[in-house]
Amino acid sequence: MSLIPALFGSLVFNDTVMKERLPKETYTALKNTIENGTPLDSNVANIVANTMKDWAVEKGATHFTHWFQPMTGITAEKHDSFISPTDDGRAIMEFSGKELIKGEPDASSFPNGGIRATFEARGYTAWDPTSYAFIKDGSLCIPTAFCAYGGESLDKKTPLLRSMETINTQALRILRLFGNKDVTRVITTVGAEQEYFLIDRKLYEKRRDLILCGRTLFGAKPPKGQELEDHYFGAIKTRVSEYMKDLDKELWRLGILSKTKHNEVAPAQHELAPIFTTTNTATDHNQLTMEMMKKVAERHGLVCLLHEKPFAGVNGSGKHNNWSLCTNTGVNLFEPGKSPYENAQFLLFLSAVIKGVDEYQDLLRISAAGAGNDHRLGANEAPPAIVSMFIGDDLAEVLDAIESGAEYKGKKVKSMNVGVDVLPNIPKDSTDRNRTSPFAFTGNKFEFRMLGSSDSIACTNMMINTIVAEELCGFADILEKADDFDKALTEIIRDTVKKHKRIIFNGNNYSDDWLDEAEKRGLLNLRTTPEALPYYVAEKNLKLFKKHKILTEREIRSRYEILLENYCKVLNIEALTMLDMAKKDILPAVVTYVKELTEAALAKKSLMPGIDRSVEESLIGRLSTLLNRFYGKIGELELALGESKNHTDIQDLSYYYQSEVFARMQELRATGDELESLTASKYWPFPIYADLLFSI
């Protein structure tokens, strides 16, 4: 018997464990809370907490923590032991229902976008029973939401859970209109493919930029990059393979469905893909996956880099968010059915996505915004910053037929009850995949490819859930009042295609022609984070989130502030790190090399007066010219950083960092990389790209 089934989920307080250990009535009550949101009775909570503690202690746990996801993009945890004193001076292990359900960490030191003053410290964590508790590093980890004293959301989980409830409500309205009474819940599912780099730890420790910023701020292009296309899906090297095996085991213990592993396009780049699960669980699992990737790498003398662009000149890393809608009866709502009505239902849900992506393309772009991802988007390795949809030629022909009222002739025709003749059963693989599209339909799901590798998937899926729920709500409002359901259904689909087909593009998103075409269509091209973020607080977006009770206006504005502040802080740290490396490492190293060349030239002149010194003198001249330019660029960057203090408005400051500070950083880097290409290896102060990318 394989060890994997016994290993899988062994550190998770999952449904199997609960069913085995909890009294039947308690288990039923807890399931009712998980599936229907029924409040948990305090007596039930105490029983669950005690059982959870006993199970965790048996597994070697000594502490518990409320594991939450603040607006830092990573997870947070505060650990308390199960120890409780007794009257006779001894200790027992206790864990109450109150401790399970609610915690009180300090909320003042997390990003809050002005929601909390520094002196207002109180915050709360609240148990999320829809995501299983698990054991990590000897602590029972309880997934929780995180909010301020006044109830405002300070985390990524809370809005996501709200959006999942909203899309469930609106999708059920649509299904009831199609006569479906069996479905009681509609669930969004996600599979998040994760790209990453692995490099040798000893080399990493010699690169201050990688340590402080996660990416190289200097680095000349190596003789070989990815141009031979020999790394993608290539044989996995032994050291990497051992890491991947170890990582799989750690993830399986945590109940994470790690399925696929392979080499990616760039040297030293790899990918891990899980099996789909519910969006909330998938989000928690992806956060754990990123954490485990880094921890396991340490055991193997490696470092896992999750920055979107750790190395210039080779592909960066993204995260492909595969999103779909499923019913609790096991039906994928993006699978066309075999009957005309099932097909009409599919087309209506597809129309909701098309309309939502077009009307809220700004929100999807914002969900992938960040200083790191700005390096990657539109760089011929990831989708451009223009949001568009790929649906394939077959579906495009179906929609064209609906729009024009013509007969669909692409495949075998069967009458369908939406007023035209179209294909009643669209094959799952009726079209090729489009790796250049930001939002591609891939058979029974949509693949959003804009996300950066270090991003939490919570924001993206909150956005997708909310915009699709909004469109389903609008459709349901019309259909519930319609005298002729079939006619109204046809009009909705046809009207959606006519008004929103501009968002559909089945071609090459990397081409320059698409940039021109997208502009003609009126699509947004928000190339950088400072350009994208103001749309967060656009009136239509404030209205959307408030209508569906996903975020209050205060919560939205706080997120807007947090994202802008993060962008500015990241660029400030990178600029300061560049200056530190330039002044303390590169300048002294090149000066020393020039000194040696000068001494060599003088020695030739003294000892061998007839020997040509043009090589040394030419190299000295080139290096000296570059050194002077490099020193000047250092001064320009310092000046730009100093002038940043004159910008007190956070939006203005973000534009300044993008247009002025980052531009000076690029100029300093270009000169520094040219110096690297001329400086002898023994003098250059850091490991070079060839070592970093090809040493494992």
Q: State how far Cα 279 lies from the chain centre.
A: 13
Q: Tell me: the pLDDT tens digits for 258-299?
A: 999 999 999 999 999 999 999 999 999 999 999 999 999 999
Find all residues with CB under 8 Å of 251, minimum gap 6, and list them.
258, 288, 289, 292
- Please tell me the distance from the alpha carbon of residue 557 to that of residue 552, in angstroms, as a whole number: 9
CATH superfamily of 4-154: Glutamine synthetase, N-terminal domain (3.10.20.70)
Find all residues with CB under 8 Å of 407, minimum gap 6, and list them.
401, 413, 420, 421
Q: Which CATH class for the 566-694 domain?
A: mainly alpha
Q: What's residue 104's pLDDT?
A: 77
Q: Tell me: the pLDDT tens digits for 221-245?
A: 999 888 888 888 899 999 999 999 9
10 Å CB burial of residue 686 (0-12, 13-18, 19+) is buried
- Please tell me the distance from the alpha carbon of residue 448 to that of residue 468, in angstroms, as a whole number: 14
- Please tell me the distance from the alpha carbon of residue 609 to that of residue 602, in angstroms, as a whole number: 9
Q: Which residue has the higher pLDDT, 431 or 36?
A: 36
pTM: 0.93
What are 465's two structure tokens?
Answer: 């859930």
10 Å CB burial of residue 434 (0-12, 13-18, 19+) is buried
Which amino acid, one-letter code, is at 611?
I
What percentage of the chain reaches a pLDDT higher than 90?
Answer: 74
Q: State how far Cα 456 lies from the chain centre.
A: 4
Would you tell me how many other CB atoms lie within 10 Å of the CB of residue 632?
Answer: 13
Average pLDDT rounded to a whole number, residues 310-331: 95
- The answer to whether 155 and 146 are in contact (CB under 8 A) is yes
* DSSP-derived pairing of the beta strands 83-85 and 302-305: unpaired
Of 257, 241, 324, 333, the residue nearest 289 (C-alpha):
257
Q: Which helix (H) or strand (E) holds 286?
A: helix 279-299
Concatenated DSSP letters of 99-121: HHHEE--B-TTS--TTSS-TT--
Residue 592: φ, ψ to 5° = -60, -40
Which amino acid, one-letter code, is at 603?
A
> What's the whole-number average pLDDT of the chain?
91
- Among the residue ranges 125-134, 207-216, 564-573, 651-660, the one predicted with the least confidence is 125-134
- Please tell me the distance from the alpha carbon of residue 238 to that of residue 200, in angstroms, as a whole number: 14
- Please tell me the distance from the alpha carbon of residue 427 to that of residue 488, in angstroms, as a whole number: 26
- Please tell me the distance from the alpha carbon of residue 68 to that of residue 121, in angstroms, as a whole number: 17
Q: Tell me: the pLDDT tens digits for 150-204?
A: 788 889 999 999 999 999 999 999 999 999 999 999 999 999 999 999 999 999 9
Confidence of residue 117 (pLDDT cuts 50, 70, 90): low
Q: Tell me: the pLDDT tens digits for 342-366?
A: 789 999 999 999 999 999 999 999 9
Q: What is the fold of 163-551?
A: Creatine Kinase; Chain A, domain 2 (3.30.590)
What are 259's two structure tokens?
Answer: 């399925």
Would you tell me how many other CB atoms lie within 10 Å of the CB of residue 61?
Answer: 22
Q: Tell me: the pLDDT tens digits for 622-647?
A: 999 999 999 999 999 999 999 999 99
- Please tell me the distance from the alpha carbon of residue 172 to that of residue 164, in angstroms, as a whole number: 12
Residues pairing with 145 in the sheet: 126
Q: What's residue 225's pLDDT?
A: 86
Q: What's residue 454's pLDDT?
A: 96
What are 626's two structure tokens?
Answer: 């570059």
Q: What's residue 107's pLDDT?
A: 67
Q: What's residue 402's pLDDT?
A: 85
Residue 242: φ, ψ to 5° = -65, -40
- Among the residue ranges 425-439, 482-496, 519-533, 594-608, the one predicted with the least confidence is 425-439
Helices first, then strands: H and E counts in the chain: 25, 20
Q: What's residue 413's pLDDT?
A: 42
Whether the per-residue pLDDT at 651 is higher than 50: the answer is yes
Q: What's residue 203's pLDDT?
A: 98
- Please tell me the distance from the alpha carbon of residue 43 to that of residue 26, in angstroms, as a whole number: 9
Q: Let me know the angle formed at the C-alpha of 186 by 185 and 189, rounded to the nearest 5 degrees.
A: 130
Residues pairing with 191 in the sheet: 322
Distances (CA, A) of 344 to 161, 324, 423, 424, 479: 29, 17, 10, 8, 13
Average pLDDT rounded to a whole number, residues 386-405: 88
Domain ranges of the chain: 4-154, 163-551, 566-694
- Among the residue ranges 217-226, 606-615, 675-684, the one predicted with the least confidence is 606-615
Would you tell me how many other CB atoms lie within 10 Å of the CB of residue 584?
Answer: 12
- Please tell me the distance from the alpha carbon of residue 683 to that of residue 676, in angstroms, as a whole number: 9
Confidence of residue 416 (pLDDT cuts 50, 70, 90): very low
Residue 313 DSSP one-character state: T
Whether the per-residue pLDDT at 576 is higher than 50: the answer is yes
- The answer to whether 4 and 249 are in contact (CB under 8 A) is no
